[in-house]
Amino acid sequence: MIELRTPAEIDEMRPAGRFVASVLTATRAAADVGVNLLDLDALAHDMIRAEGAESCYIDYHPSFGASPFGKVICTSVNDAALHGLPHDYVLRDGDLLTLDFAASVGGWVSDSAISFVVGEPRPGDLELIATTERALAAGIERARVGGRLGDISSAIGDVAHEAGMPVNLDFGGHSVGRTMHGDLHLPNDGRAGRGLKLRAGLVMAIEPWFIPDTDEIYTDPDGWTLRSRTGSRAAHAEHTVAITPEGPLVLTARD
């Protein structure tokens, strides 16, 4: 069931959004050449404890995961597109890193992701990241009362297609509330004017992710990390957004 949140409930969701944004800001600042992915996970874990928050990942065990995730942040490096399981890996110059983090504060969840390059970027990496961020901005702009879910999907897909990138439809955005993944599924491509009518109080994670030359992925032997079939790099951008009468409200906006 897709639930709508009252204005008071959306206000109650703001601390979770601010916290998730603060963790991504801190872990991005800490990510550098020579830093271990496990250190980034430990930093996020320390911030969860200090906040009195709850991890959405550590016990997460959906049908596509081999076991409970066991960590508190996703760290996807280079050809890892989604769900990167933190492991004993030391970041190298030029690595493209995605951090994806969700947590519950006061019983409300927010979810967000950011991609960036550690050290000197390779040709094409910055444009890939910029395309993903443009798609996120385009999707957020269409998250308005009276529109359709397909308007958001179409806006995201249009940015990808204009850049010549294919779009995977297996994983996309989702509704957010008391749990991380609600019933709503938001594909990263679609037809405008189709799908669920957008109403005030709908809260969702909008999350385009692109690989320049393929929409095919496979699961790493770790049972979690999803990698590009061609070995090409991937980028991912995500915000938790509430639809309000005044327009889209980005709960996970970073300073």
**Binding site per annotation, positions for a divalent metal cation:** 100, 111, 174, 207, 238
- Residues annotated within the binding site are 83, 100, 111, 174, 181, 207, 238
- Residues annotated within the binding site for substrate are 83, 181
Q: Of 104, 116, 228, which Cα lies nearest the Cα of 166?
A: 228
- The crossing angle, in degrees rounded to 10, of helices 7-30 and 37-51 is 140
CA separation (Å) from 172 to 46, 53, 145, 188, 210?
29, 25, 21, 6, 11
77: which 2 tokens? 């490096």
Q: Of 138, 197, 147, 193, which Cα lies nearest the Cα of 4?
A: 197
In this structure, what is the dihedral angle of CA atoms 108, 114, 119, 124, given to the nearest 10 degrees? 170
For residue 27, the surrounding DSSP H or E stretch is helix 7-30
- The helix/strand count (H/E) of the chain reads as 4, 14
What residues have CB less than 8 Å from 228, skipping those under 6 apart?
79, 81, 211, 214, 216, 217, 234
- Using CA atoms, how far apart are residues 224 and 166, in angstroms rounded to an integer? 22
